[in-house]
Amino acid sequence: MNEKKREAILKIMSITAMFLCVYPITSIVRIFFFKEGRGFLDGLFYLAAIYGTFAAVTYIMRKDCTKKNAILAHLFLVIPILTSLVYFFYYGISSMIFGTFITAILCFLAIRSYFKKYHYLIDGVKIYVGIVMILLALTFSLYFEEFKYLKNQFYIFTFIYAFFVLIIKNQSNLDGIFSKRFDKASGIPKRMRSYNIRKILVFFLLIVVIYYFRDGLIVTLRTLGNLLTSVLKSLWNFIKIIMEKLYWLFDTEEINNSNSPEMGYGIIEGGGQNSILNTVFNVIFFLALAFAVYKISTLLIINEFIPFLKNAFKCIFQKIINLFQKVEYKEEKTYYYTDSIERVLPSDISKKSKEKKKMPDINKALRQVEKIQNPKEKIKHLYGFVLKYMYIKGMDIKKSYSTGEIYKKVREIEQLDKPFSEITSVYDRVKYGDKMPEINQVDETKSNTVKSINIIKKTK
Amino acid sequence: MEILALVIIFLIAIYIQGFLLNLFLFYKLEYSCDFSVDKATEGDNIFLEEIIYNKKLIPISWIKAEIYTSKWLEFAGKDAVIAQESRFVTSNFFLKSYQKTTRLWNVKCLKRGCFEIDKITLVGGDFLGAFSDSSAVIDVKTDLLVYPATIALEQYFKPASRFIGDAIVRRWINDDPFMFSGLREYVAGDALNRIHWKATANRGKLMVKKNDFTTNLRTAVILNIQSRDNEPDEVIDKEIIEFGIKVAATIFDKALKQGLPLSFSTNGNVVNGNEYPIITKESVGREHVNELLTILAKLKLKKVQDFEYFINDVSQNYSNTEVIILTSYLTEEICNTIRKIKSGKNTVSIMLLNAVERESLPGDLEVYIPY
């Protein structure tokens, strides 16, 4: 989509959003003052007037001032406004004045938005004013009997408004980030806008779902809260018992006797009379309890339960990821750079077989290269062959690695640096620079491939 | 309550998306930036490879890497911001979960030099612009050495005097200057391209081509880094000296092809070098020439000693050598020193990098002037 179209669509969305927050409150006012309820018909006339004005301004501002454009501009401007006026006049002069006033404001804002940035109408204070207006209308529709029939309509408006605001905010955010003088370099990557819009859509749907199931959510949150409270309570009780035991352990007989002579403090009933024995028992009990707590926490919780949970979560997570896994590899070329985009899942998710493969034959590969007519393809084939050889030899070569990454790994092997760097250099030029290799370059690559394979063969 | 719930849900959702995206923005995010080669030659097209890998489930709505490098590495075209000697480019990405993007920038090496990309900062944020964050400075430390380009000497220089020029032209400007005078046994240090394979096969031992005494001279290149006499430390006419560096590189290249022993001296120094002039040892072969080219690539346009003193200091170093002096001006003192060098059984050729009046040149010296 070109920039102009995108800007126009966003402006239309912005105007619509403005209408969505203005219209509900005007409906409330109209019903309150004129006791008229005409459903969404008013809204349609307002909308027609706004879009008509916007289209008219677009035609007027066009560089080619043809008669056709002038006529279209007049038609777009006059017809909707006149029709609206006639419609409003049908309900009386006061209704017409009110309708004209609202239409005039909306048309004025539509004209302004043409000359300003698309986020002009949904920016700064205007966004808060819009939210207050729409919430006010919603409140009226919820709590006043005479407006109740508008509730669903206003809810729909609120959600559409919210969606448009999110989209415009997102897009203006991207523009703000990447359109500054010092940040314009590579521009906004081609699919960044559409990707962001998709994510905003998902985000919005998530909010709608949460709102729809808000009661269920509240119940779940309450249950969770209760669960947490009970866990905390039991923990507190447990600590309390421990503290009491500790208190008894270090308590002196005199104080205990003076406070409550009849109480026994030992674990064993009746043992409370012998303070030394009591203390010994208490110490043993405390140590046993501490040991048990330590063992349970370390062995059971830390060593068993947490890893079990971790693995279970990981397993579920990997299964979900695998479910959505797509074999994605894309190349996007711009004038300045080439992007290779791929989805690389963690290696443990990969289900690639680890069968032992037969080492490919270099002579066979060279014969195959001879059959290839296109020099570019020859280079690609040779490079691919070296990579395949290295992979089967057990080197850490992955499909997701870039040529630079592979070269860095290869550099560690003695003597392989030079021939492989030359192969990589030619390959890069062919693949990303789109250069046609010369005959001697193909020959050199062949000889470098043979050299590389011989060196790789010798490595363990 | 319903309205309140609606508002709260929206606010919490917006906050949570911003908070989560920002909290995990740089978590399990890998970034690297590297040149596709370590060494290139002026005019070469190479690649700058950026790899960014989001190793987590949470996507990244936008992220940008801010790259600062030299303006002499041309990439991102008109969209790059060039200020003085630096080029600023922002590289923008968005990343889905577990997405890896490899970006290869087409880079053209405009000038010789030693270039580096040292540090990079990543800046990212959420979908709605409510939160944004920048990473700690990432050390990428990638270097690129750009050797000076070679030129066709015959297109740039002509002898100031025809009578004395022809011989030198044949030797330095034409490609095949040697007179073949016989064969001798191979000794260590002889270039491989001088081996006479037919004779080697005939006699069963390595034989090399033997040349005339005159062509068997050793070669020394002296580069005057000053563009003008009495100039401050920094070079004024940078383009002239850059041209001289290219001429030196061309001579190195020719010497390598002809297997001549070569030495290089200059009254300048390299980037991150000391404050002494450069005087290299004489040697032969690819590695030595690469070292000399590295010196040329890293050469600062700043003198460390006045050329008059410098040439006087090094004049004693040469005997039975073909000395090629690359300078943009000549003074009486310099000419006297050159005469002294010449008197020590050396052949001296002066390649003037700057156009001068032919009449002002010394008649007894072999001078080449630019067209």
> Can you spell out the DSSP letters for B18-75?
HHHHHHTSSTTEEEEEEES-SEEETT-EEEEEEEEEE-SSS-EEEEEEEEEEETTEE-
Q: Does A148 touch chain B (CB under 8 A)?
A: no
Number of H-type helices and E-type strands within chain A: 16, 2
Nearest CB neighbour to B59, from listed A142, A174, A199: A199
Which residue, A188, A222, A248, sits at the end of a domain? A188
B159 plus B50 within the same structural domain? no
Please give the average per-residue pLDDT across B83-102, as a whole number: 87
**Cα A378 from Cα A339, distance rounded (Å):** 23
Chain CA centroid to CA A329, Å: 20
Q: Does B64 touch chain A (CB under 8 A)?
A: yes
Q: How many CB atoms lie within 10 A of CB A134?
A: 23
Of the ranges A438-447, B109-118, B141-150, which one carries the lowest mean pLDDT score? A438-447
- Could you tell me if residue B159 is inside a domain? yes
**Chain B contact set for A178 (CB, 8 A):** 62, 64, 90, 92
Please give the average per-residue pLDDT across B335-343, as a whole number: 89
* Overall domain count for chain A: 2
Write down the pLDDT at residue A252: 54
Q: Does A188 touch chain B (CB under 8 A)?
A: yes
> Where residue A266 falls among pLDDT bands split at 50, 70, 90?
very low
- Tokens representing B142? 């990638």
Q: Does A187 touch chain B (CB under 8 A)?
A: yes
The dihedral through the CA atoms of B344, B347, B350, B351 has a sign that is negative
Which pLDDT tens digit goes with each residue over A218-231?
A: 888 889 999 999 99
A300 has pLDDT over 80: no
- Could you tell me if residue A373 is inside a domain? yes
- Could you tell me if residue A92 is inside a domain? yes
> Where residue B181 falls among pLDDT bands split at 50, 70, 90?
low
The mean pLDDT of chain A is: 80
Inter-residue contact B241 to B353 (CB < 8 Å):
yes
* Overall domain count for chain B: 3
- Could you tell me if residue B14 is inside a domain? no
A249 has pLDDT over 70: no
Which pLDDT tens digit goes with each residue over A341-358?
A: 888 776 544 455 455 567
Write down the pLDDT at residue B167: 43
Chain CA centroid to CA A298, Å: 38
The fraction of chain B above a pLDDT of 70, given in percent, is 91
- Could you tell me if residue A222 is inside a domain? no
Of the ranges A287-296, A306-315, B211-220, which one carries the lowest mean pLDDT score? B211-220
Whether B49 sits inside 8 A of A199 (CB atoms) is no
**Cα A46 from Cα A91, distance rounded (Å):** 15
> Where residue A273 falls among pLDDT bands split at 50, 70, 90?
low
Q: How many CB atoms lie within 10 A of CB A104?
A: 13
- Could you tell me if residue A268 is inside a domain? no
B124 plus B263 within the same structural domain? no
B333 plus B222 within the same structural domain? yes
Looking up residue B125, the CATH number of its domain turns out to be 2.60.40.10
Chain A closest-CA separation from residue B75 CA (Å) = 7
Write down the pLDDT at residue B158: 80
B295 has pLDDT over 60: yes
Nearest CB neighbour to B91, from listed A166, A186, A429: A186
**Cα A71 from Cα A77, distance rounded (Å):** 10
A388 has pLDDT over 70: yes
The mean pLDDT of chain B is: 84
Considering only residues 107 to 136 of chain B, which have any Cβ-Cβ distance to chain A shorter than 8 Å? Answer: 125, 127-129, 132
B157 plus B293 within the same structural domain? yes
Which pLDDT tens digit goes with each residue over B37-56?
A: 888 999 988 999 999 999 88
- Could you tell me if residue B11 is inside a domain? no
- Could you tell me if residue A324 is inside a domain? no
How many inter-chain contacts (A to B, CB under 8 Å) are there? 162
**Chain B contact set for A158 (CB, 8 A):** 6
Tell which residue, A184, A265, A417, has the closest CA to residue B91: A184
Identify the residue with better confidence: B164 or B322.
Answer: B322
Whether B7 sits inside 8 A of A135 (CB atoms) is yes
B225 plus B333 within the same structural domain? yes
Inter-residue contact A387 to A427 (CB < 8 Å):
no
Whether A172 sits inside 8 A of B101 (CB atoms) is no
Whether A169 sits inside 8 A of B10 (CB atoms) is no
Write down the pLDDT at residue B293: 93
Considering only residues 332 to 391 of chain A, which have any Cβ-Cβ distance to chain B shorter than 8 Å? Answer: 335-346
The dihedral through the CA atoms of A302, A304, A306, A307 has a sign that is positive
The fraction of chain A above a pLDDT of 90, given in percent, is 5
B192 plus B226 within the same structural domain? no
E strand or H helix at A318, and its extent? helix A306-324
**Cα A222 from Cα A225, distance rounded (Å):** 5
Write down the pLDDT at residue B223: 93
- Could you tell me if residue A193 is inside a domain? no
Please give the average per-residue pLDDT across A316-337, as a whole number: 71
Please give the average per-residue pLDDT across B320-335, as a whole number: 89
B357 plus B237 within the same structural domain? yes
Whether B104 sits inside 8 A of A196 (CB atoms) is no
Contacts of A191 (CB under 8 A, 6+ apart): A332, B94
List, in sequence order, every beta strand (DSSP E) within B126-267: 132-134, 138-147, 157-159, 180-185, 207-211, 218-223, 262-266
Please give the average per-residue pLDDT across A182-196, as a whole number: 70
Q: Does B16 touch chain A (CB under 8 A)?
A: no
Write down the pLDDT at residue B208: 82
Which residue, A156, A188, A220, sits at the end of a domain? A188
Looking up residue B229, the CATH number of its domain turns out to be 3.40.50
**Cα A90 from Cα A83, distance rounded (Å):** 11
Whether A178 sits inside 8 A of B64 (CB atoms) is yes
Inter-residue contact B51 to A405 (CB < 8 Å):
yes
Identify the residue with better confidence: A396 or A16.
Answer: A16
- Could you tell me if residue A118 is inside a domain? yes
Which pLDDT tens digit goes with each residue over A407-433?
A: 888 877 877 888 888 888 888 888 877
Nearest CB neighbour to A344, from listed B6, B94, B100: B100
- Could you tell me if residue A217 is inside a domain? no
Write down the pLDDT at residue B264: 93
**Cα B10 from Cα A182, distance rounded (Å):** 34
> Where residue B110 falls among pLDDT bands split at 50, 70, 90?
very high
B185 plus B96 within the same structural domain? no
In chain A, the residue whose alpha carbon lies closest to the alpha carbon of B108 is A336
HEC letters along B255-307: HHHHCCCEEEEECEEECCCCCCCEECCCECCHHHHHHHHHHHHHEEEEECCCH
B238 plus B353 within the same structural domain? yes
> Where residue A186 falls among pLDDT bands split at 50, 70, 90?
low
B143 plus B190 within the same structural domain? no
Write down the pLDDT at residue A427: 87
- Could you tell me if residue B20 is inside a domain? no
**Chain A contact set for B142 (CB, 8 A):** none
Which residue, A161, A188, A215, sits at the end of a domain? A188
Whether B104 sits inside 8 A of A321 (CB atoms) is no
Write down the pLDDT at residue A415: 79
Chain A closest-CA separation from residue B219 CA (Å) = 29
Write down the pLDDT at residue B88: 87
**What distance separates the 2 farthest-apart alpha carbons in chain A?**
115
User: Residue B206 sits in which domain range?
Assistant: 180-212
Inter-residue contact B252 to B262 (CB < 8 Å):
yes
Considering only residues 265 to 324 of chain A, which have any Cβ-Cβ distance to chain B shorter than 8 Å? Answer: 317, 321
> Where residue A322 falls among pLDDT bands split at 50, 70, 90?
low
The fraction of chain A above a pLDDT of 70, given in percent, is 86
Give the long-range contacts of residues A316-322, CB within 8 A, separation 24 or more. Answer: A317/B57, A318/A348, A318/A349, A321/A345, A321/A349, A321/B57, A321/B98, A322/A349, A322/A351
Looking up residue A417, the CATH number of its domain turns out to be 1.20.120
B171 has pLDDT over 60: no
- Tokens representing A276? 């030394």
In chain A, the residue whose alpha carbon lies closest to the alpha carbon of B36 is A404
Which pLDDT tens digit goes with each residue over A111-149?
A: 888 888 888 888 888 888 889 999 988 888 888 888 888
- Could you tell me if residue B21 is inside a domain? no
Task: Give the side-chain half-sphere CA count within 13 A for B89.
Answer: 24
Which pLDDT tens digit goes with each residue over B8-20?
A: 888 888 898 888 8
Considering only residues 209 to 228 of chain A, which have any Cβ-Cβ distance to chain B shorter than 8 Å? Answer: 210-211, 214
B82 has pLDDT over 70: yes
Which pLDDT tens digit goes with each residue over A75-116?
A: 888 888 888 888 877 877 887 888 888 888 888 888 888 888
Write down the pLDDT at residue B108: 92
Of the ranges A409-413, B109-113, B145-149, which one carries the lowest mean pLDDT score? A409-413
E strand or H helix at B177, and its extent? none
User: Residue A416 sits in which domain range?
Assistant: 353-458
- Could you tell me if residue B140 is inside a domain? yes
B171 plus B203 within the same structural domain? no
Write down the pLDDT at residue A271: 46
E strand or H helix at A290, and its extent? helix A275-295
B74 plus B187 within the same structural domain? no
What are the backbone angles phi and psi of residue A40, rounded to the nearest 5°? -95, 5
